[in-house]
Amino acid sequence: MLKIIGGKYRGRILKVPKSSPHLRPSQGFFREALFNICQNNIENADLLDIFAGSGAIGFEALSRGAKHVTFIEQHRPTVKYIRENALILGVEDQVNIICGDAFKMIPALSRQKKSFDIIFADPPYHKMIQEELFSDNMSKLIDQNNSLLKNESLFFMECSNSQEKLTLNNLDFHRLRKFGQSLLHQFYSSKSP
């Protein structure tokens, strides 16, 4: 059972597949910590949730005052649950749900001149044999499409705790935090407006 833990939808249960190798929902303590970190940035924010899985991060953001969330998730059956949860919560007009490969969808959003206050990426690192290569590719993707980040926006990427510290050329590293088997990298954009 996956519950929203804060904000106006606190306690509401999100529908998720009973068992799926494609899902690793963010634990409550992780979501609580993440939103404590960005609590001053979440109100009226546009958020991009990459590798959205169950959509827990995005729905938690909406519950805490985000204006809009764009979800990117490749696994079609999981996308169905994100759509159902948006309907259950009555937030269909506050979400954009994209079913597709993040490595193709992110450049497409950039070409559409989309930009976000917060970007959260939770790649399926537990299944990646070449995790370092995958993280490097993800880092390059964000670097190449850094127009997606507004000035003074935040970028978070979750990795396994075996991953080295990530480097992004166009974003400023802020902090690395450990949560159980996960590492949370935090960057911010300090581009000139």
Q: How far apart are the C-alpha atoms of 37 and 98, rounded to whole Å?
A: 26
Task: Please give the span between the terminal C-alpha atoms of the chain, in angstroms, as a whole number.
Answer: 42
Q: Is 192 exposed, middle or buried (0-12, 13-18, 19+ CB in 10 A)?
A: exposed
Please give the distance of CA 120 from its chain centroid, rounded to a whole number: 3
Residue-wise pLDDT tens for the chain (193 aa)?
789 999 999 999 999 877 655 555 566 678 888 999 999 999 999 999 999 988 999 999 999 999 999 999 999 999 999 999 999 999 999 999 999 999 899 999 999 999 999 999 988 755 544 455 566 777 778 888 888 999 889 999 887 776 666 777 788 888 888 887 778 889 988 754 4
Would you state the structure tokens that stand for residue 53, as one six-digit string? Answer: 């899985």
The CATH number assigned to the domain with range 2-188 reads: 3.40.50.150
Estimate the crossing angle of helix 28-37 against helix 56-63, to 10 degrees: 50
Report DSSP letters for the chain, one per residue: -EE--SSTTTTPEEP--SS-TT--PPPHHHHHHHHHHTTTT-TT-EEEEET-TT-HHHHHHHHTT-SEEEEEE--HHHHHHHHHHHHHHT-GGGEEEEES-HHHHHHHHHHTT--EEEEEE---GGG-TTHHHHHHHHHHHHHHTGGGEEEEEEEEEEEETTSPPP--TTSEEEEEEEETTEEEEEEE-----
What local confidence, expressed as pLDDT, does residue 42 receive? 96
User: Is the sign of the CA dihedral 18, 118, 128, 185 positive or negative?
Assistant: negative
Note whether 137 and 121 are within 8 A (CB). no
Nearest to 136 by CA among 110, 108, 165: 165
